[in-house]
Amino acid sequence: MTYPAPLAEQRFVLETIADLPGLARLPRFEAATPDLADAILEEAGKLSAGVFAPINRIGDTEGARLANGAVTLPAGFREAYAAYVEGGWMTLGADPAYGGQGLPFALATAVQEQLTSANMALSLCPMLSQGAIEALTAHGTEDQKQTYLTKIISGEWTGTMNLTEPQAGSDVGALRTTATPAPDGTWRIKGSKIFITWGEHDVAENIIHLVLARTPGSPKGTKGISLFIVPKFLVNADGSPGARNDLRCVSIEHKLGIHASPTCTMSYGDDDDCVGYMIGDENAGMRAMFTMMNHARINVGLQGVSIAERAYQHALAYAKERVQVRRIVEFADVRRMLMTMRGLTEAARALTYLNAAAVDRAHAGTDDLAQREAQGLADLLTPVTKAFSTDVGVEVASLGVQIFGGMGFIEETGAAQHYRDARIAPIYEGTNGIQAMDLVGRKLPQGRWKSLFADMRADFVLFAADDQGGLVPYLEDALAALESATTWLADGGASGGDDNAAGATPYLRMFGLTVGGWLLARQASAAERRLAAGEGDPAFLNAKIVTARFFAEQFLPQAAALLGPVTRGAETLFAIPEEAL
């Protein structure tokens, strides 16, 4: 299964949706010139196609293996990660003060998309490290940054996040791992964590675990949680890895997908000597961890985009070759599936890149108001990016299997791997149901949706004045329904509580489809202007226009129709007694 990076698509979305040229005008991102961005995308495409993609199937069939507490990765994974490190790819968006390049997160997001499309299991390793970089940059001491952050940014060491315990999944406040102060100012960590992605491996010389734990006498629930750096190897005075810390990988999970990504059960302090170092203040661990998790949630949404892109490419190539009376790409229903895959993938990509650019503007805006506005947009979009885009990944991968027909159900074709790999993304880093509740319960009350909807309506006026006017009725109907649903939820629904919770998931879908349709229409409008000016590739630009129209015709009516399910309330959900279910 070859993988050519969708360079033209990525450049177009970075320009028209993320406004990379505008980001490059901010003092912090002046280096992100169009020429540099193009060069980075092209080189990342070579790494993805030539190094990551060829071992994707090997990773799926061989998987990670545990023996005597050590995890061994499939053939080629060590070399692929070494090539990633040698190319400096981990440094793209990181702080230059600690070895990073300081480039926009939006550009780094496009690079991460390529790597994830090529090999999702391997891409998870640097993705988790990127989250650790965010947490340490925001909350670490200068000494912690010099000791750990620089090494993670270089890629020499990797990072993990350790939240989950058997009794503490979504209910993080139920965790039992403890941290006891030691006389030397360090802490002794004791407990176990499950589902730790890349918790043990052989591709880097040290692993820096970020572990949530409770200190003595801490308050109950999430208010009593602190965050700790727990290195696999303690660090010598010269910065080199030293003695092995008192932690180990007990087991790795046998999973539906991402077989080459070691999902570990970690045990800390079996000999009561696991050394940890607190990040930030005591009992403020959730604040630091959410810095990491919000970054990770955008990247998990990106996984949905990435797998969708790979599944679409794979299914399209097969449909062009497979003959049943005639090539199956010539059949209307196969075209419907391919256009559905294409439209959903492009909508999710645009949403994800817009979210990443909002993060950039929140960090690098030129005034406080602009930064607050950008942060509000980033906060609003993050649960939508995570949930909508990962649902898209599963839906598109499933359609890919369908286009392959019976051969899609056969592992050797590789179509099933896309689906199996995609299926975890709606679950981890906060299930999609939790993302929907976060959107409704936390993000809508902040009110940032009002200015977003106003921006969308302003664009509709512009669309009506050009050749994209045919999209406007669909967009207006979808947005009107979304506004009604938003107002209903913001006012507490019929009774708040379960009524709002019952409508949260269809509301998030409604939100994603409507915003996705708007972003595709923006791209269609930009494509029309370029065609009129005689710029760009006409075939590519015409395809953007047609995709936006298909999405408007097929998906925006679905968005409007979700108003009923959103506002129906919870009565029917609980009308059957539990014992009769």
Backbone CA torsion sign across 474, 480, 483, 489: negative
With CA atoms as reference, report the closest residue to 258 among 125, 432, 59, 538: 59
Phi-psi group of 551: left, alpha or beta (phi > 0 → left; psi -120 to 50 → alpha; rest → beta):
alpha
Reported pTM: 0.97
pLDDT confidence of residue 465:
84
- Would you write out the chain's pLDDT as a tens digit for each of its 581 residues? 799 999 999 999 999 999 999 999 999 999 999 999 999 999 999 999 999 999 999 999 999 999 999 999 999 999 999 999 999 999 999 999 999 999 999 999 999 999 999 999 999 999 999 999 999 999 999 999 999 999 999 999 999 999 999 998 888 888 999 999 999 999 999 999 999 999 999 999 999 999 999 999 999 999 999 999 999 999 999 999 999 999 999 999 999 999 999 999 999 999 999 999 999 999 999 999 888 889 999 999 999 999 999 999 999 999 999 999 999 999 999 999 999 999 999 999 999 999 999 999 999 988 999 999 999 999 999 999 999 999 999 999 999 999 999 999 999 999 999 999 999 999 999 999 999 999 999 999 999 999 999 999 999 999 988 777 799 999 999 999 999 999 999 887 656 688 999 999 999 999 999 999 999 999 999 999 999 999 999 999 999 999 999 999 999 999 999 999 999 999 999 999 999 99
- Catalytic residue annotation: 429
pLDDT at 30: 95
In this predicted structure, what is the pLDDT of residue 493? 63
* Percent of residues in the chain assigned helix, strand, coil, to nearest 5: 65, 10, 25
Q: Write down the pLDDT at residue 497.
A: 80
Contact predicate 162/210, CB 8 Å: yes
Q: Which conformational region is residue 423 in: left (phi greater than 0), alpha (psi within -120 to 50 degrees), or beta?
A: alpha
Name residues whose C-beta falls within 8 Å of residue 86's C-beta, 6 or more positions apart in sequence: none
Residue among 393, 451, 459, 463 nearest 426 (CA) = 393
pLDDT at res. 56: 98
Q: Which helix (H) or strand (E) holds 459?
A: helix 449-464
What radius of gyration, in Å, describes the C-alpha atoms of the chain? Answer: 24
Instruction: Report the DSSP pairing between strands 263-268 and 187-197.
Output: antiparallel
